Amino acid sequence: MRCRLDSLSLIVCLHLLSIDGDDDKGERSQIGDTMTVAAGVGYVLIALGPALSLFASVIAKKPFLILTLLSSTLFWLISLIILAGAWRAFLPVKSTELWPYSILILTSVGFQEGIRIGFWRLFKKMEDMLNAFADRVSKPRLFLTDKMQLALAGGLGHGLAHAVFFCLSLLTPAFGPATFYVDKCPSIPFFLISAIIALGFVIIHTFSMVIAFNGYTEGKRKDQIFVPFAHLIAALITLINLVPGGCNIGLPLLCIMAGTTLYYSWQLVWRRLTEHQTTRSSD
Amino acid sequence: MPPPDDPPSTTTAATKTSIIDSLGVEIVGVMSPVSICMLLVVLILTSLSSPSTTSSTSPPPVTAATLIYVESDSDSPSHKLLGAVLDAAAFVALIAAATFVLVLLYYYNFTSFLKNYLRFSVFFVLFSMGGSIMASLLQHFSIPLDAPTSFILLFNFAILGVLSVFSPAVPILLRQSYMVSVAVIVAVWFARLPEWTTWVLLIALALYDLAAVLCPHGPLRILVELASSRDEELPALVYEARPADSSHPVSPPASTPVASLGSVEMQPVSEASNSNSSSVDEEERSPLVSSPPVVRENLSNFNHEQVRESNNSNHAVVEMETGESETLPLVEREGFRSSSNSDSEFEMFDSTRGIRLGLGDFVFYSVLVGRAAMYDLMTVYACYLAIISGLGCTLILLSVFRHALPALPISITLGVIFYFLTRLLMEPFVVGASTNLVMF
């Protein structure tokens, strides 16, 4: 069943799809059910796969990182609620014009980058507290890898929150037997597009936090400017999706942006670790 | 800049342990079962709810919470609100009366009666309420399981649950799993209440919890003081977040466990040692933080004999003689001078009791998240984060105040606030943006 409606009635459509799917469950064969559950699980894994593997390999081992992840997710949620509260009076925004959405994106990205600086200040305070605690129990202070892991956990929290609120919460109908296409993008199912965009943003959020923390700690302008810039460009790229057929261009560009952020952070971390290693070995 | 040929070796960093390796173990140890409970409740409710939500003719269950007023869709909002407030007041009054009866019985030492009543209630929950949930799940997913087999399986499940709740010989992981199952089953039943009644009830229970634990004559506070003055375990169904690799009965067996519907308080890690150095540092305000590595090494290195020979009524005190090599691994690791500090050893051992969270807290957190799940998944995530952060705040307060604290108020308040904020503010914003594929 194809549901070609505009976004205003999307919520109605989503609920209809989920109810329809379940009513037919008794008559449908088991294979049809598992196929659609598989599709839903597939979309979830596309959006969250790298995040889950990062979680399992790095973060799940240290409970403190789990707590950092949860608090940074909460932070992002609160910032989103504040943004939504500020924009509530202007909603719903007409999807045919570009400029309301661009203002929305500019304000949202600006606000979130401001929050990132606040987050970094909190992180500094926490680092000082942890170092003081380490001195009291006569254990070594925080290593560079620790700080980077904390930054990674913080960024992953932001990315996870983005994926959950922008992608996963709309994925419920994907577990049923139907799919949905947006008017502007008739070639790719809506769920797949949002999953891929969520994947891109998870990577961007995670690694830009690492870059940002390193940049603020070292005081390097280049890193500090890179992060808001990358975030803004990525968000503006999604504006291309408003144009009919634009998602065919927007999606690859977003993936390129995510790859750029990943590469930049890789270079940065590599450089810092080698510098740290050489300074330690030269002592 | 091309990366160098040989990757930087991090062996020097890896051999030393950092402090963030083991910080916050206990907090995560409490948050994981809460998360698992909420996840199971959401899964059960979302898979079972679709047939019933489409048919609004099915009457809500007749429970203690719908004694006065049963909500129906045709009433006006003010009527619904009034009815919900009356229902919540009746329910809280019932819970308060039941708790007072409990306190009286505990005061007059009717312990065997309470113990058997608790056994019966756990069996009832697992067998009959759990059985009906199992029946609807079997029906919904068309699982080919015949009636006699499912009866036998359910019966075994319930009996094992009854055994594991009381016996200290049962592995802690099994006991924790059964606690979570009981909480899941009760929460699924509570979540079937009508919407307005549920929200007002949650707020009313949070207020009641605050009063019952913190006021000088509140029933739960009296209960806690009685239990601690008799040096016994708290008589209630509690979840103990002890590390799972302990197979010894480290703390005294729960001699007077009693069912408590509103068992909604947390007990702190009592007198937790926070010294890995030789002097007990009074200013150290992070017991939850530093005791875990000590605790885990303790538990995995103790022998049965050492535990039994030095059991007294409250702690299993272990004499850490300097000659004993079994206990020294802890000593060697932490550089601990054990010979001079029997005080800190006492305290260290107390801390193995772990953080305890009442089952009522699990139930009402899951009810809140379950009710949020009936609206949309976005509210589920928002409420989950709110509850977890409320729980974290409560744990931090616990480490500061060092006596029993109510676990419901902060989390429920945050959960309710976030639910309504998300539903009213965030949802139109985010759904409007993401369905147009504009994301940031």
The answer for B 327-356 residues in CB contact with A (under 8 A) is 335
> What H or E segment, with its residue span, contains residue B246?
none
A7 at interface of B, judged by CB pairs closer than 8 A: yes
Lowest mean pLDDT: which of A270-274, B16-20, B110-114? B16-20
Residues 6+ apart with CB under 8 A from B346: B271, B315, B317
Q: How far is A262 from chain B (nearest CA, A)?
A: 15
A25 vs B contacts (CB less than 8 Å): 140
Q: What percent of chain B is predicted at pLDDT more than 70?
A: 65
pLDDT for the residue numbered B414: 94
Angle ∠(A115,A118,A119) on CA atoms, nearest 5: 85
Q: Is the peptide bond before B406 cis (omega within 30 degrees of 0)?
A: no
CB contact under 8 A, A162 and B21: no
Phi-psi label, residue B271: left if phi above 0, alpha if psi -120 to 50, beta otherwise: left
**B166: Cα separation from own chain's centroid:** 17
> Rounded distance, CA B72 to CA A110, Å?
46
Q: Name the closest residue on chain A to residue B282, using Cα atoms.
A: A136
Lowest mean pLDDT: which of A41-55, A84-98, B374-388, B423-437? A84-98
Structure tokens, B36: 């698992």
For residue A200, count other CB atoms closer than 10 A to its CB: 26
Q: Strand, coil or helix: what is A202?
A: helix
User: For the stretch B193-213, what's the b/e string if a residue is b when 16 or more beta carbons lie within 10 angstroms of its beta carbon?
Assistant: bbebbbbbbbbbbbbbbbbbb
Which stretches in chain A have pLDDT values below 70? 1-35, 92-96, 283
Q: Which of B386, B421, B437 sits opposite A182 (nearest CB)?
A: B437
Angle ∠(A131,A133,A139) on CA atoms, nearest 5: 80
Kindly tell me the sign of the dihedral angle through the C-alpha atoms of B330, B357, B405, B96.
negative
A vs B: CB pairs below 8 A:
198
CB contact under 8 A, B438 and A84: no
A238 at interface of B, judged by CB pairs closer than 8 A: yes
- pLDDT (tens digit, 9 = 90+) per residue, A112-145? 999 999 999 999 998 898 888 888 888 888 888 8
Residue B18 has pLDDT above 70, yes or no: yes
- The identity of residue A95, as a single letter, is S
A127 at interface of B, judged by CB pairs closer than 8 A: no
Structure tokens, B33: 């079962």
pTM of the model: 0.77
For residue B29, count other CB atoms closer than 10 A to its CB: 20
Cβ atoms B292, B30 nearer than 8 A: no
Q: What percent of chain A is predicted at pLDDT more than 70?
A: 86
CB contact under 8 A, B392 and A172: no
Cβ atoms B85, B69 nearer than 8 A: no
Q: Which residue has the higher pLDDT, A35 or B3?
A: A35
Q: How far is A84 from chain B (nearest CA, A)?
A: 5
Taking CA atoms, B251 is separated from A39, B6, B192, B305, in Å, by: 49, 52, 38, 15
pLDDT for the residue numbered B115: 82
> Rounded distance, CA B70 to CA A83, Å?
38
Of the candidates B376, B368, B389, B247, the residue with the CA atom closest to the CA atom of residue B304: B247
Residue B335 has pLDDT above 60, yes or no: no
- pLDDT (tens digit, 9 = 90+) per residue, B39-94? 999 999 988 876 544 444 455 566 666 666 666 667 788 888 888 888 889 999 99
pLDDT confidence of B235, banded at 50, 70, 90?
A: low
